[in-house]
Structure 1
Amino acid sequence: MAGNLHNLNNPSSSPPILREKDHVKVIKEAISEALVYYYPFAGRIKEGPNRKLMVDRNGEGILFLEVEANFKLEQLGDAIKPPCPYLEQLIYNVPCSDGILGCPLLLIEVSLLFPNH
């Protein structure tokens, strides 16, 4: 899965809406507003009749993580490619990830980089 890395700590490169704000709070609120229209993502996978997989729209919510990592964005280079020495700091191991039943359909992680923290 490909993703984008954005440096929100550089005020000159940040969009005006993100300047002088709690970046994680802004992201979380935007996701919350978007999920109103995509409410099935707040559910979980369940097994229905004849072992058919379906979405249980139970409203348990997505998994939203705010994590801290101890390195600089520049240390990643242009892309995260194997072997990545920071993988353990960047990737969250979802407790139920050994299967799919009952797991969140969507996980969003905001990584805050604090070199030498």
Structure 2
Amino acid sequence: MHLVPAARADRRIIDGHRVCDAIAAIGEPARVRTWADRFSLLSDPGRLALLLALHQAGPLAVSDLAVATGMNDPAVSQALRLLRAAGAVAGEKEGRVVRYRVVDPLVADLLKHCATGTD
């Protein structure tokens, strides 16, 4: 029970080795927060639809994403602003058109599972 923090050491433990395994699996709180933030990006159906479209079709402009997802242009722009701030997507300007693509490799891996239907 070497991984049990001192603040929790006085609690009743049934399977000490499993508790230590669970604590090790959880890891650092900052890492858990990072993954929770990443999953929160995917929890919104609109953002997930945008990410899936970008992942499968490659770089797309806001208006094209709006048509593909059934969202309106301002909603797509707002969602992309959040995704860009989180580092999940990036835009590349070509003249007056900005095309967005998925740049976070961990998000791309998660999208592969969504796209293939792997449950």
Tell me which interval the TM-score lies in, with the shorter structure as reference length.
under 0.3
Higher percent of residues as helix: 2
Higher percent of residues as strand: 1
Q: Normalization by structure 2: what TM-score? A: 0.21
Larger CA Rg, structure 1 vs 2? 2
Q: Normalization by structure 1: what TM-score? A: 0.21
